[in-house]
Amino acid sequence: MIRLPPFTFRRPTSLQEAASILTGDGPGTRLVAGGTDLWPNMKRRHQQATSVVSLLGIEGLSGISASSGAEARIGATTTLAEVAAHPRVRELYPGLVRAIESISSPPLRNMGTLGGNICVDTRCTYYNQTEEWRRSINYCMKAEGEICWVAPSSPRCWAHTASDSAPMLAALGAEVELVSVRGVRRVPIVSIYQDDGIEYLAKQSDEILSAVFLPAASQSPICRSSFWKLRRRGSIDFAVMSAAIALWLDAEGRIERSAIYLGAVASYPKPADKAVAKLIGEIPTEELLTETAELARRQATPMDNTDFQAQWRKAVAGKYIEAALREALGWEARRIAPKHSPSSHGSGVAG
């Protein structure tokens, strides 16, 4: 049995107290809610903490407020299962529900929280290993070492984003509320990420993500959304590539606004800007979607840091993006699900 290392466990009763502890206890302090990511990482010594502050039980940090034509609010410690099961969320934000239902397995969705998944640690083949395995290669940059084994000549870490909710929330134009001893601020969710496998969160280290806000303009049927996820098995596994799509059509059926974000191909939810620009002002056609998917595929630059070969993941990215676009439009998805892939790890694909 792998045991947790020693640390001080703090249980504040208010968000203000939690913010004060986070500031006062210093840089070795971590936040925890469901613990589905932090506890295993601490057991494997991927992450360390001298103090852990629990957010569970703090009033106002959980719960959902959602209604047609109004902005939706989801508390950060609301479990993933609660978000996915909420009838209004299911009706108004189907792409988000699809993304959340793809996360891990039912037991972990009953424990894991939306805020936790938004802030979940990045992943890499060379990092997410046992202590003995990591020590045998002299560690990597993300775990005490000085080199990124994915790109040894690079000065930065290339671990990829592991959140499934983040790309879809970014596509929907979500905002997050951040609380610290300095006060409260609300920012677009895309602004809290940066393309660095170690320092992947751009928010301040003493800030607590307290809530997520979804705009009324991103509700169905005004907005058409979809989420497709590539992974080895149909549940449990982390994404090796994902596509989050949101489309807004005018009365004539032209695409007046769109958003495409890719997951697990960079250290942050990666926007496919060139593909988005291709769609604006156009009436959807087979050719348009194929060309758009190809543009997005070119912006997907997966590296050899997770399951399946990077070249194959990039090739399949176009197929998944096109399938997600078709589904968002209500067309037949024409999913490509090969029985075998050019991977040394075996075969089988699940989305």
Query: Would you state the pLDDT for residue 64?
Result: 98
Tokens of 252: 């004539």
Residue 5 placed within a domain: yes
pLDDT(339) > 60: no
CATH number for 33: 3.30.43.10
Q: Is residue 142 part of a domain?
A: no
**CA trace torsion 219, 220, 223, 229 (10° rounding):** 100
Domain housing 50: 1-59
Its pTM stands at: 0.93
Taking the C-alpha atoms of residue 284 and residue 280, their distance in angstroms, rounded to an integer, is: 10
What is d(CA 138, CA 328) in angstroms, rounded to the nearest whole number? 46
239: domain CATH number is 3.30.390.50
* Nearest by Cα to 124 from 229, 205, 200: 200
Task: Write the pLDDT tens digit of every residue in 205-255.
Answer: 999 999 999 999 999 999 999 999 999 888 889 999 999 999 999 999 999
d(C-alpha 163, C-alpha 176), whole Å: 15
Q: Which of 59, 79, 101 is the last residue of a domain?
A: 59
325 found inside a domain? yes
* Residue that terminates a domain, selected from 11, 35, 59: 59
- Domain count within the chain: 2
Kindly report, residue by residue over 318-329, the tens digit of the pLDDT: 999 999 999 999
pLDDT score of 300? 87
**Each residue of 272-288: pLDDT tens digit?**
999 999 999 999 999 99
Q: Which three-class secondary structure state does DSSP give residue 215?
A: coil
For residue range 45-72, what is the model confidence (pLDDT) as tens digits? 889 999 999 999 899 999 999 999 999 9
- The reply to whether 92 falls in a domain is no
Structure tokens at 168: 């879809």
DSSP string, 24-51: HT-TTEEEESS-TTHHHHHHTTSS--SE
Note the pLDDT of residue 274. 96
What letter would DSSP give residue 217?
Answer: G
- Tell me the C-alpha distance between 110 and 120, whole Å: 16
The pLDDT of residue 336 is: 58
- The answer to whether residue 21 sits within a structural domain is yes
Instruction: Give a yes or no: residue 19 inside a domain.
Output: yes
Residue that is last in its domain, among 59, 80, 96: 59
